Amino acid sequence: MSTAPSANNKTPVPLSQMSPYLKKAIVSIEDERFYQHGGFDPKGLARSVVMRLFGKRQGGSTIPMQVSKMLLTSSEQTMSRKIKDIYYAVEMDKKLKKDDILELYLNNFFVGKGLSGAEAGARGYFDKSAKDLTLAESALLAGSTKNPSKYSAYKSAKLDGSETKEDLDHRILTFVNTEDDDLDEPTETELKMVDKLYEWGLINEGTYKQAKTGSIVIRKAVNNPDAKERQETVLGKMKELGYITQKEYTEALAEEIVIKLPEESNKVSNSVEDLIESKVISALVDQGNTREEAENMYYNGGLIVNTTIDPKIQEAIEAEYKNTNNFPGNVLGPDGVLQPQSATVIIDYRNGQIKGLVGGRNISGRKTLNRAITPRQPGSTIKPLAIYTPAIDTMSITQATAFSDARGGYRFEENRKWNPKTTTAGGGSMSLRLGLAKSSNTVAVKVAELLGDSYEDCVDVMIDYLKNFGVTSLADNKATKDSNNTDRRFPALTLGGLTYGISPLEMATAYGALANGGQYIEPTIFTSIETFDHQSIVDSNPEKKRVVDPQVAYVMTDMLKAVITEGTAKKASLPNEMPVAGKTGTTNSSKEAWFVGYTPYYVGATYIADDAGVRDAEGKIVKTRNIGGGSTSSLLLWKNIMTRVHQNLEKKDFDKPEGIYFTKINLHDGGTSSSGSNAAFIDGTSATRVTTAPSTEKKEDTAAENQNNTSGNTGGNSSGGNNGNAGNSDNNNNNNNTPSDNNTGDNNANNNNGGNNAPDNGGNNVDTGAEGN
């Protein structure tokens, strides 16, 4: 377990690693009798009461009382809270040494600008360690405690065009420019200064582009005169109490305060801190706290958040995300963000614990778009969840059930009008196992048509299974027939052209349910939340529910293993022959590329795609590009990450439940065969025919799929093991005169043939009849 980093850049250090001037400054200005009283100072409190009676405000809280307010209670201005602080302060003084209490204070006091504690303040204002603070700097930091907003070391100011490179070196501030902020739009002078900053090397290309397009605003840090005035008060108190000499006092007053902001480095945007913050605050609100109270507890309460993140797994993901060779077609977008973007989530599916998460690449800062929890079009990764799992769950459809992979022969009129194309050779039959392994779109649609008695029944079944797998982003809108506003249609549910999409986190969780014997476990990023003294506040209690029986889940795992051994994802195999089950997925012309896979240890979901909705300097939406290599790019990234993750793990197989047996089947007609593929079956089900044909795989010409789209293709589907290869010709195969899908094979043939488009979070329209990966 690891402890969540603070949202306020809190970096605790021992008292010995802090400047002695800072300790003296804090005691002088905050609690001059700190070393004499027992946690509560009656004299100080009495003086505070008298001053308030005369209309003057003066604090009466001792350092232990302030530690209580920071870590145990809140900033609520009530008598009951003050009484609690006094009680905790007295108890603290009984059990802790004075220096231990002072260390707690100095590691948690707020110094403004989102910085808490001595080390964060020193780094954030002066780019140095707390132990290296001068007397003047220490007094400045100590002075901020009275009102951090008013007395922070610097203020932001507009660029006026007169600045030199030296004036702005390590003093550049950037702010996200949104409709809700109070920032003025950059002036012509400021935009010219942006050019200079780039020429001087003070900002990188990404920041430059974002500033020029107005997505961020640049300001400069200037010394705060209020902070200087407060610093002089602190120095005077230190001299009065004998902590410094007259000479030290005079020299500190004259010392120039030099603001030096730390270097801003572009790093992997792992988004872990943001997700922890969101989930912890939500959990605290669920405990009965107000939003403000929960945020105060998180930011300033010294909470210990025991996260589920495994540092080694997180490092493995981040190491691969730093390698630009893992991402095809790298280019800096007009907004300064590197494209294509990507996200990866790794979960221990036995307990739902998120072990590693990256929500973007080469993005600095926090509160940025977390792509790990943002829905994207899933393409064919939806097929195991929406189609094949419910099919196996019927107990009447098995891995051996055969279907025609030819275009046409669809059961429902809606699908005959849609008439999705084949993504395989389209000239024969395929067992269910091979249909999934080769990601045949026609087979997927025909299987889905057997899930109910009517079109609507089948749609209901697919939506129900997706929801049970934890997918929350479906547009289950029965009141509209607008294809852009509902997912209640076959193109969306069978081929992944959803209205909004599915996030990598939810996709990993859904596949994790299959890996976990059919049991869904809600993903969690923390196990418990504790106070600074290890008193439990919240224990994680993720939702658990059974989606399918263990036998159904195991058959699906066996089929998904075949995707790697016999299908589109052969390159996903891991060293040491570690078993892998998974599924590739791409959308129209490989705009999004996915791989979701699991081992006997972890499940991981990875996607690569350009961000949707990015605008250029003229305000026009930039078209998203095809991902070179299609799903193979995501597959190889997933493999590189998982190879690191599994490096020292012992090889083992997936647990096989009772009620499962294996028999060999012909991959094409589904008959039992002595030379076929070894496939898992549930007791009571079986292949219904015997074949003497060799179980050799036919070479699929996916790049030439249009050859299979002429009229007269044989069609039809069948269950119970009937060979669907020889059926009646389909009268709807009339040279693409009906809305068609845009199907691709395994990272080949990026055809654009129209289709029903669904918006992808900001303008990236995706053909609802997407690909065959």
pLDDT tens for residues 223-282? 999 999 999 999 999 999 999 999 999 999 999 999 999 876 444 445 788 888 889 999
| pLDDT tens per residue across span 559-595 | 999 999 999 999 999 998 999 999 999 998 899 999 9
* Among the listed residues 292, 250, 298, 245, the one whose alpha carbon sits nearest the alpha carbon of residue 275: 298
pLDDT band at 177 (very low <50, low <70, confident <90, very high): low
Listing DSSP states for 529-584 in one string gives EE-TT--EEEE----EEE-S-HHHHHHHHHHHHHHHHTSTTGGGPPGGG---EEEE
Q: How far apart are CA 596 and CA 583, in angstroms?
A: 6
Taking a C-beta distance cutoff of 8 angstroms, is the pair 60, 45 a contact?
yes
**Burial readout 29-63 (b: 16 or more C-beta within 10 A, e: otherwise):** bbbeebeebebbbeebbeebeeeeeeeeeebbbbb
pLDDT of residue 44: 62
Nearest to 606 by CA among 635, 574, 573, 647: 635
Rounded CA gap, 79 and 88, in Å? 14
Q: What is the pLDDT of residue 51?
A: 53
Task: Name residue 159's beta-bridge partners.
Answer: none
Cβ–Cβ < 8 Å for 494, 387: yes
Residue pLDDT, tens place only, 489-527: 999 999 999 999 999 999 999 999 999 999 999 999 999
| Spatial distance between the Cα atoms of 382 and 607, rounded to a whole number of angstroms | 13
Within 20-60, residue ranges assigned H as helices are: 20-30, 42-53
- In terms of average pLDDT, the best of 459-463, 698-702, 746-750 is 459-463
Q: How far apart are CA 668 and CA 405, in angstroms?
A: 10
Neighbours of 523 (CB within 10 A): 26
Which amino acid, 741? D
- Gap between the Cα atoms of 728 and 167, Å rounded: 80
Q: At what angle do helices 98-106 and 20-30 cross, to 10 degrees?
A: 90
Quote the CA–CA distance of 185 and 211 in Å, as a whole number.
Answer: 11
Domain extents in the chain = 2-153+224-254, 156-223, 379-646+655-695+715-767
Pair type for strands 536-539 and 526-530: antiparallel
Strand order of the sheet with strand 172-176? 154-157, 216-223, 172-176
Give start and end residues of each alpha helix (H) in 429-517: 432-437, 441-448, 455-468, 490-495, 504-515
216 token code pair: 């961020």
Residue 56 has pLDDT above 70, yes or no: no
Residue with tokens 């959803």: 498
What Å distances lie between residue 680 and 313, 391, 398, 448, 559, CA to CA? 32, 15, 9, 21, 8
Report pLDDT digits (tens) over 17-41: 999 999 999 999 988 888 888 877 7
CA–CA gap between residue 421 and residue 622 (Å, rounded): 29
Q: In which band, very low, low, confident or very high, does the pLDDT at 164 lie, cut at 50, 70 and 90?
A: very high
pLDDT of residue 266: 43
Residues in the chain: 773
Stretch (H or E) spanning 487 = none
| Spatial separation of the C-alpha atoms in residues 772 and 407, rounded to whole Å | 13
Q: Is 754:767 a contact under the CB 8 Å cutoff?
A: yes
Task: Compute the mean pLDDT over every residue in the chain, rounded to the nearest whole number.
Answer: 83
Return the pLDDT at 714: 31
761 φ/ψ angles, rounded to the nearest 5 degrees: 50, 55
Which of 113, 106, 9 lies closest to 67 in space, CA to CA? Answer: 106
Q: What is the pLDDT of residues 371-401, one digit of tens each?
A: 999 999 999 999 999 999 999 999 999 999 9
Ordered alpha helix ranges (H), 363-495: 383, 389-393, 413-418, 432-437, 441-448, 455-468, 490-495
Q: Is residue 511 within 8 Å of 597, Cβ to Cβ?
A: yes
**What is the pLDDT, as a whole number, of residue 301?**
65
First-last CA distance in the chain: 37
Tokens linked to 387? 């189609």
Please state the φ and ψ torsions of residue 266, each to the nearest 5 degrees. Answer: -75, 125
Could you tell me which CATH class the domain 2-153+224-254 is placed in? mainly alpha
For 90: left if phi > 0, alpha if psi spans -120 to 50, otherwise beta; the answer is alpha
- At residue 743, does pLDDT exceed 80? no
Within 10 A of 767 (CB to CB), how many other CB atoms are there?
27
Whole-angstrom distance, CA of residue 120 vs CA of residue 586: 44
3-state secondary structure of 625: coil
Superfamily for 379-646+655-695+715-767?
DD-peptidase/beta-lactamase superfamily (3.40.710.10)
Q: Can you give the pLDDT at residue 553? A: 98
Return the minimum-mean-pLDDT range out of 171-175, 441-445, 629-633: 171-175
pLDDT given at position 729: 34
Instruction: Give the span between the Cα atoms of 732 and 566, in whole angstroms.
Output: 32
Helix H or strand E segment including 170:
none
d(CA 343, CA 338) in angstroms, rounded, equals 13
Residue 76 CA neighbour count, 13 Å, CB half: 18
Amino acid of residue 69: K
Supply the pTM of this predicted model: 0.70
Q: What percent of the chain has pLDDT over 90?
A: 58
What's residue 49's pLDDT?
53
Residues 87, 67: contact at Cβ < 8 Å?
Answer: no
